[in-house]
Amino acid sequence: MSVDIPQSSELLGFVPTAQYGDTIDANHGSDVPANLHAANSRARGGALHLSAVLPALSSAIGAPVSTHVHSNARELQRALGFPNAKSAVVVLVDGLGYWNLNMMLGYAPYLRSLMNEPANQRPISTCSPSTTTAALATFGTGTCPGMTGLAGYTQLNPQTGQISQLIQFRGALPPEQLQTMPTVFAKLREQGARATSVGMTRFMASALTRAALRDSDYICNDNPTKRVSIAANTAREPGLTYLYMREIDKAGHAYGWHSDEWQVAFERVDMRLGMLHRQAPHDTLIVIVADHGMVSADQSEGARIDIAEDPELMKGVRLVGGEPRATMLYAEDGVNPDDLAARWRSRLGERAWIRTKREAVDGGLLGSVRDDVMPMLGDVIVYAAGNNTIVDTRTQTDGATRMPGVHGSQTMLEMDIPCLIDYVE
């Protein structure tokens, strides 16, 4: 049984804003503006969300925890279809969107075998923006970007008044000060349950790990194949293991997700995931997720929108944050965000979905938002449509503005991620 792949126009169409919580309002209609192409109006989120994965797994291993967003871990486990198990290994494959995966299944025998199972033939939603910094914190805490304070690749640091970057935390608040939500790993350890992360040495004490994934026992190894073996071995003791794979996202940004390089990375990831299945002890639950999908950027004139070359777009903009698919505009003093948003809508038309901060927050784009996070968010939030990108050559390098593979927006291709279940009996 295979999954029907939507047409490109649908994959690049906007989807409704995903809802946070254990359940969703099934009658919640699409909030996509009528003048923009919507992929569908199906309500999204709830238990079928990246934020629900770790709480659901906590229930599956017999140590259910709640978060500020999810109160019923057992209901999440039921909704996601996770069986009970002695141990669980959750693998986050950076950049492996649900539809990217399904369009390339011919190169991935192990993942193809999982996709033959009806339980795996449905995507779940990632967070908005659909980017790694926001998604890892959402995943690690079981909450949402509005509560973790990681709301994009770059954002305003209110203490300095300047843009900060949240991969290495350049110019940012200290990670423990910015991200104050407890992680699911910490909650598991409070119950006496094992919580382990397996990763590269350089990520062990990185700022992003400290913000999003802290309080697990971190085991280092710089060989990706050995990391898989280590993860499988940790599952011999009851508890939860987290394993991160970055190769696909790295190849996608550098070469595009249709490239030979991406295909090679995909094949290697599939091989290692198959090895994890073979090496894991019996009564281990393996769950494979991602942080976002990926879109091929159109570099042609009109699709690559450079703020620096358009005085109408620059007008009233003090700072630019976010990234090429999810841009945050910080208005100059005295500029009304409604006026700024209206000017951008008039200029970009169907090339972007544009919301003021208030519209985005009220619409639940970032989930519940802490009071101290509000100043970090742009006064206007711009999500690119289709294959468009929004760049600013005043502050970004040429390479950063011309990446062939991008993500961050609210399209089906970027927002839908896999949540594949493999129980090793």
Tokens matching residue 99:
């539809």
The verdict on 116 and 140 lying in the same domain is yes
Give dist(CA 418, CA 262) in Å, integer.
18
Indicate whether 259 and 346 sit together in one domain. no
Count each helix (H run) and each strand (E run) in the chain, helices first: 18, 18
With respect to residue 337, please indicate whether it lies within any of the assigned structural domains: yes
Same domain, 205 and 322: no
Q: How far apart are CA 351 and CA 388, in angstroms?
A: 7
Based on the structure, what is the number of domains in the chain?
2
Is 286 in the same domain as 396?
no
Residues 328 and 191 in one domain: no
| Residue 1 maps to a domain | no
Residue 2 lies in a domain: no
Q: Which residues contact 66 (CB under 8 A, 6 or more apart)?
A: 55, 72, 73, 187
Grouping H, G, I as helix, E, B as strand and the rest as coil, residue 160 is coil
Which residues are within 8 A (CB) of 101 and not within 5 positions of it... i.e. 6 or more apart? 108, 111, 115, 290, 418
Give the burial string for 140-159 (b: 16+ CB within 10 Å, else e): bbbbbbbbbbbbbbbbbbee
Q: Are both 146 and 14 inside the same structural domain?
A: yes
Alpha-carbon span 73 to 299, nearest angstrom: 44
> CA distances (Å), 304 to each of 252, 261, 347, 421, in order?
18, 24, 14, 38
Distance CA 300, CA 355 (A): 25
Q: What pLDDT does residue 1 have?
A: 54
Same domain, 117 and 103: yes
- Residues 61 and 17 placed together within one structural domain of the fold: yes
Rounded distance between C-alpha atoms, residue 112 and residue 135, angstroms: 25
Same domain, 165 and 79: yes
User: Same domain for 225 and 281?
Assistant: yes
What region does 239 belong to: left with phi over 0, alpha with psi -120 to 50, or beta? Answer: left
Residue 420 in any domain: the answer is: yes
Q: Looking up tokens 């970004």, which residue turns up?
A: 396
Where do runs of H (alpha helix) occur along 159-246? 175-178, 184-190, 207-212, 224-234
* Residue 3 is assigned to a structural domain of this protein: no
Q: Which domain holds residue 292?
A: 8-296+411-424
Q: Are residues 418 and 381 in the same domain?
A: no
At position 325, the amino acid (one-letter code) is R
Q: Does the residue 48 lie in any domain?
A: yes
Q: Which helix (H) or strand (E) holds 162?
A: strand 162-165
Task: Check which CATH number belongs to the domain holding 383 and give it.
Answer: 3.30.1360.180
Which CATH number do you get for residue 289?
3.40.720.10
Same domain, 284 and 384: no
Can you give 348-397 as a three-state secondary structure string?
HHHHEEEEEHHHHHHCCCCCCCCCCCHHHCCCEEEEECCCCEEECCCCCC
Give domain status of residue 73, yes or no: yes
Each residue's pLDDT, cut to its tens digit, for the chain (425 residues) gives: 579 999 999 999 999 999 999 999 877 778 999 889 898 888 999 999 999 999 999 999 999 999 999 999 999 999 999 999 999 999 999 999 999 999 999 999 999 999 999 999 999 999 999 999 999 999 999 999 999 999 999 999 999 999 999 999 999 999 999 999 999 999 999 999 999 999 999 999 999 999 999 999 999 999 999 999 999 999 999 999 999 999 999 999 999 999 999 999 999 999 999 999 999 999 999 999 999 999 999 999 899 999 999 999 999 999 999 999 999 999 999 999 999 999 999 999 999 999 999 999 999 999 999 999 999 999 999 999 999 999 999 988 888 899 999 999 999 999 999 999 999 99
Residue 386 lies in a domain: yes
Quote the pLDDT of residue 26. Answer: 77
pLDDT of residue 56: 98
